[in-house]
Amino acid sequence: MRLLAVALIMTVSGYAAADAMLRIRPQIIVTPGSEVRLSQLVDGQGLSREMLAKLSSISISKAPELGEKQELSNSNITSLLRPLIQEEHERGNTKIHVVVPKTVVIDTTKRELTPELVRMEIMQTWQPLCADCRLEIESLSLPRITDIRDWTLKLQAELPHGSFSIPVDLVRESGAMTAAWISGRLIVKREVPVAKRVMNISEHVNAEDFKWEYRDTSYAVDSAPAADELAGMHMKQGLRAGEVLFRNMLEKERAVRRGDMVQLRSAEGAWEVTISAIAQQDAFIGDVINLKSPKSNNILVGRVTGQGEAELR
C-alpha cells in the first residue's frame, strides 16, 4: 500500500494542548457500492453536535466495487470542510486543530495494522503541534490480533510526555468491534542552547558561550531561551560544558540600582542632551523608572537602555 504524505494543517486560530480536533483518516474500509459520508472519514474530539450532524449529512462518493480502491484529493476534502469549520468558529469553538492528508483512500477489502501506518498517522497529528521539533517514536507496540479488517486511532491534539498509550478501535473480520491500545515512547527533540564551557554562578551570559543543537527535551519541565533572550542575563546556577541551558537557570542583570547615578539622555532632532540623575529604584533594561535631578530635586521619568543609562520619557 502506498504511504500517504504528511498532513496539511488548517487552523481557525492558534491552538494549545487538548484543543478540539478534526482529523481526516487517510484510509477507510467501506461496504462495496455503499454511500460514503464525510463522517466516516472523521476522527474528532470536542466538536459540537451541530458539526457532527453536518458531517453525517454530507455524502462524498459512492464506494467502489469489491477489491477496488478510490482516492479523494486533499482539495476535495478541504473544500467540504472549510464552510463547516467556519460555522463551528461562529458557534464559539475558536480553536480547532484540523488534519487532512494529501489523499484519502476508500477501500473495500481490509487495512492492515502495521507499524509504518500507525507511525504515519501519529506523526500526521502530533508533528504540527510542535512545528520546530523533531519527533521520533520508539518501542512501538501494537495489539496482537490477526483478524483486523479496519482500525481507528483515537488521537488527541496534544503531545504526550515520553511514554504514551493510544486507544484504538478495531473492526474484526466478523464485523465485531474490539477496543485495544497502542503504546510507545515519543522523543521530542528541540533546538536548544548547549554550553561550550563551564558557566559559573553569577557569570554574565553571552550568545558566543553556547552552540545550538537538537536535544531530547521530552521530560523537560522548563523551556530553553531563544538566542535574542540571552542579552542582559547572568547565570543563576552553574552549568557544565555540554549541558542544556534552560530559562530557570538565568536571571536578568540589574542595569540600574536604587541610588545609582544614571546618565539620562534626551534627544530631539539633531540635538541630544545628557544629564546625571539619581535612580529611585532597581531596574532592568527596558524598565521605566523615576529619577531625581540632584540640582533641582525634580522627579524625571526614564526608560533604562543599558548599564547606568536611561532615555527621558
Please give the backbone phi and psi of residue 227, each rounded to the nearest 5 degrees, phi first: -60, -40
- Angle at the Cα of 200 (from 199 to 202), degrees rounded to 5? 120
Q: Could you tell me the three cell numbers for 290?
A: 523615576
Instruction: Report the chain's terminal Cα–Cα distance, integer Å.
Output: 67
- For residues 170 and 180, give the distance between their C-alpha atoms in angstroms, rounded to a whole number: 7
With respect to CATH, is domain 261-312 assigned 2.30.30.760?
Answer: yes
Helix (H/G/I), strand (E/B), else coil: 76:
helix
Identity at 151, one-letter amino acid code: W
For residue 37, what are the β-bridge partners?
A: 59
CB atoms under 10 Å from CB of 153, counted, come to 19
Identity at 286, one-letter amino acid code: G
- Indicate if the pLDDT at residue 180 is higher than 90: yes
- For residues 69 and 105, give the distance between their C-alpha atoms in angstroms, rounded to a whole number: 7
- For residues 233 and 204, give the distance between their C-alpha atoms in angstroms, rounded to a whole number: 6
Give the pLDDT of residue 1: 36
User: What pTM was computed for the model?
Assistant: 0.70
Q: Per residue in 234-283, pLDDT tens?
A: 899 999 999 999 999 998 878 899 999 999 998 877 788 899 999 999 98
- For residues 160 and 185, give the distance between their C-alpha atoms in angstroms, rounded to a whole number: 9
Fold agreement between 191-252 and 261-312: no
Give the pLDDT of residue 93: 72
Q: What is the mean pLDDT of residues 62-82?
A: 92
- Indicate if the pLDDT at residue 9 is higher than 70: no
* All structural domains of the chain with their residue ranges: 1-109, 191-252, 261-312
Q: What is the distance, to the nearest Å, from the Cα of residue 130 to the centroid of all Cα atoms in its chain?
A: 3
- Indicate if the pLDDT at residue 219 is higher than 70: yes
**Contact, 72 vs 101, CB < 8 A?**
no
Q: Per residue in 98-124, pLDDT tens?
A: 999 999 999 999 999 999 999 999 999
- For residues 65 and 73, give the distance between their C-alpha atoms in angstroms, rounded to a whole number: 19
> Which CATH number is 191-252 given?
3.90.1210.10
**Contact, 277 vs 226, CB < 8 A?**
no
Task: Give the H/E segment covering residue 79.
Answer: helix 74-90
Give the pLDDT of residue 18: 52
- For residues 162 and 6, give the distance between their C-alpha atoms in angstroms, rounded to a whole number: 22
Burial of 272 (C-beta count, 10 Å sphere; 0-12/13-18/19+) = exposed
Q: What is the distance, to the nearest Å, from the Cα of residue 269 to the centroid of all Cα atoms in its chain?
A: 45
Helix (H/G/I), strand (E/B), else coil: 175:
coil
Q: Per residue in 140-156, pLDDT tens?
A: 999 999 899 999 999 98
- Indicate if the pLDDT at residue 5 is higher than 50: no
